[in-house]
Amino acid sequence: MNKSFTLIELLVVLAILGIFAVLGFSSYMNSLRSGKDARRKTDLQTIQKALEEYYLDNQAYPVGSIPDPFCHPGGCATAQYLPVLPKDQGGTPYAYESSDGAYYRLYSCIENPNDAGAGVNQSGYGISCGFGICDPCRYGVSSSNVSL
């Protein structure tokens, strides 16, 4: 009697391994997206703290835009409030909105379609944070005197 596997048995094992590989890869990709989103949220909170410090010193928020909301015609105040301006590791820009210095809104991309945390709007805020899944921006923070 020959003790070997049949072709059907080998194909079944390969199919099962393929299913595990697909499940593992999708789980890995979800974890990667969640990690990027967590970093983006932390970056926006860091910028938000610096903006509040700027407001305490100047009684106004910077009027400008990302890449550096702390820059204006008179120069840049980034180093004083934020030694290193956080940047999205995926290359999508953060969006900053402040037309008169009385308020601000900061927006970012969120890749996880299941994120329902504070500041997340899966329909988007109408501000562009890049292209593809990051257009429009889906996460935001703002000064306490204005809503997203």
Q: What are phi and psi of 77, to 5 degrees?
A: -115, 20
Report residue 69's pLDDT band, with 50, 70 and 90 as the boundaries.
Answer: low
Average pLDDT, the chain: 85
Q: Omega of the bond prior to 136 within 30 degrees of 0, cis?
A: yes
Residue 85 pLDDT: 78
Other beta carbons within 10 Å of 33: 18
Would you say 138 and 110 are in contact if contact means Cβ atoms under 8 Å apart?
A: yes
How far is 68 from 85, CA to CA, in rounded Å?
7
Beta bridge partners of 76: 71
Report residue 78's pLDDT band, with 50, 70 and 90 as the boundaries.
Answer: low
Structure tokens at 59: 């009684």
Report residue 95's pLDDT band, with 50, 70 and 90 as the boundaries.
Answer: confident
Assigned architecture for domain 38-142: 2-Layer Sandwich (3.30)
Give the global pTM: 0.77
Query: Domain ranges in the chain?
Result: 38-142
Report residue 1's pLDDT band, with 50, 70 and 90 as the boundaries.
Answer: low
Closest to 92 measured CA to CA, from 127, 39, 130, 128 = 130
Comparing 28-37, 54-63, 88-97, 106-115, which segment has the lowest mean pLDDT? 88-97
More confident residue, 93 or 147: 147
pLDDT digit string (tens) for 100-141?
889 999 999 888 888 888 999 989 898 888 777 778 889 999
Residue 90 pLDDT: 77
Residue whose token pair is 């008179």: 74
